[in-house]
Structures are given as structure tokens and as C-alpha cells.
Amino acid sequence: MQRELKRLKTYLGRVYRDVARKVAADEGLALRFARLLGQTERLLVQERTSESKLYSLHAPEVVCIAKGKAHRPYEFGSKLAVAVTNWEGFVLASKSLEGNPKDGHMLSSTVEQVGALNGVEPDRIDVDQCYRGNDYAHKERVFITRQRRGLTPTIKRELRRRSAIEPMIGHVKQDGRLGRNHLLGATGDTVNALLVAAGHNLQLILTWLRLFLSPGSWQP
């Protein structure tokens, strides 16, 4: 494998240098090939332990996300922050983030989107343990799983509901086709995340309407 990788890099280096020499004399061609040549140079110099590696030429914003699961240790794409209501399961925010930030560093921007889309900031925020050391200004509103201090019976009950977000994210991935984005670039990731969240909310609303308005849904 190492021998074939070295051979492929040799081929790529030859083509890169040949194209760079031929377009150097023409300013228009140099500008046209600048982005592709820059990505190729980045691909040639990166190593296994390099940071900010290039995984895809047609989607350079793709990052490697460690999942820590036996059947799927890594995923390649963009990281998504999702905020849902505690009981109903409506998506309040769906934000695509550039790079691979830590979970705790996503909380402030996610809550900011909740306020921008809904006009109201949440009174309490229930998060997983990976959100320890988060960047949110109002620490008193954040309650972390397995927290023991400062909990009322209502907050304890809400924290037990926090695990329900995992199947919701699974539904968003499968039913909303979030696992494969066909829109281009980081802007396409942002638009796709918002469209999937809107579709999920509409599906919940239709389910509730079907439950309460369908004949025979209520029995005496």
C-alpha cells in the first residue's frame, strides 16, 4: 500500500509541476487554476499526522469526525449542532459548523441561532457530558448529564429526557437524508441543515394533526 501511495504521489507531483509551468506565463490561466493547484499542493505535502488534511477535492470543507463507535469509528463530512425541545422534539436550531470544533465550543453559537430563529432564548439547556467547559456565557442555565448539584425534581426529569435526542438525530439522518448532502460548499451544508430541520418539524406537525383530527382517533 505504501509503495502504491508513493507511486500515485509521484504521478500527481509530475502533473502538478507540468501544469504549473504551463499556466505561469498566462495570468488568466494562472487565476483559473490557482484554487486547484493550491489544493493539489496541499495534498502533496500532507502526512498522516497533519492537521487540516484535505479529504476531498470537490468538497474541501469535509473533515474527519471521530465517532468512537465500533461499527463506525469515523465519519467524513461537516459537523452539525442540533437543538430540540425537551418534550415535543421540535428542532429549534440546526447549524452546520466549519472545521471540527469541540462540542463545548458549539453551544454558544447554537443557542444564538435558537434566539435568532425563535425570538426567545431557552431558560434551561440540557446537554451531554461532552459539553463540559462550554463557551456559553450563562452557565447557570446549562445542566449536564450526571450533574448532582442544583437540581430540582423538574430539572432531574428533564435531564432524563436528554437521551431522547439521539433517536431524533437518527431520524433526521435517515428520514431527512442528512447523511448525504447534494448542495455545494459550506453554504450548501448550512442550507441543507436548515431544510432538514424544517422538514422534521413539518412531519411532526402532520403527525399531531393526523392524531387529533382523524376519525376514530379518540375512543370514549
pLDDT of residue 215: 67
- Do residues 188 and 86 both lie within one domain? yes
pLDDT in tens, 63-79: 888 887 788 888 888 88
- Do residues 103 and 202 both lie within one domain? yes
In a domain, 217, yes or no: no
Domain total in the chain: 2
CB neighbour class for 84 (10 Å; exposed up to 12, middle 13-18, buried from 19): buried
pLDDT in tens, 192-217: 999 998 998 998 899 888 888 876 65
**Which pLDDT band, with edges at 50, 70 and 90, does 218 fall under?**
low
pLDDT of residue 32: 92
d(CA 43, CA 68): 26
- Does 220 score more than 80 pLDDT? no
d(CA 18, CA 200): 50
> Phi then psi for 94, rounded to 5 degrees?
-145, 100
pLDDT of residue 86: 85
d(CA 54, CA 43): 6
pLDDT in tens, 42-69: 999 988 888 888 988 888 888 888 887 7
In a domain, 69, yes or no: no
Take residue 198 and report the three cell numbers written for it.
Answer: 424544517
Count of alpha carbons within 13 Å of 76, Cβ hemisphere only?
9
pLDDT exceeding 90 applies to what percent of the chain? Answer: 18
pLDDT of residue 3: 94
Average pLDDT (85-93) is 87
pLDDT of residue 38: 92
- Do residues 180 and 131 both lie within one domain? yes
Helix (H) or strand (E) holding 168: helix 165-175
Q: Please, which residues have CB within 8 angstroms of residue 97's CB and are 6 or more apart in sequence?
A: 78, 79, 80, 81, 106, 109
d(CA 4, CA 1): 5
Compute, in degrees rounded to 10, the torsion defined by CA atoms 5, 8, 10, 14.
Answer: -160
- Do residues 122 and 180 both lie within one domain? yes
- Do residues 119 and 192 both lie within one domain? yes
- Does 134 score more than 90 pLDDT? no
Structural domain containing residue 17: 2-45
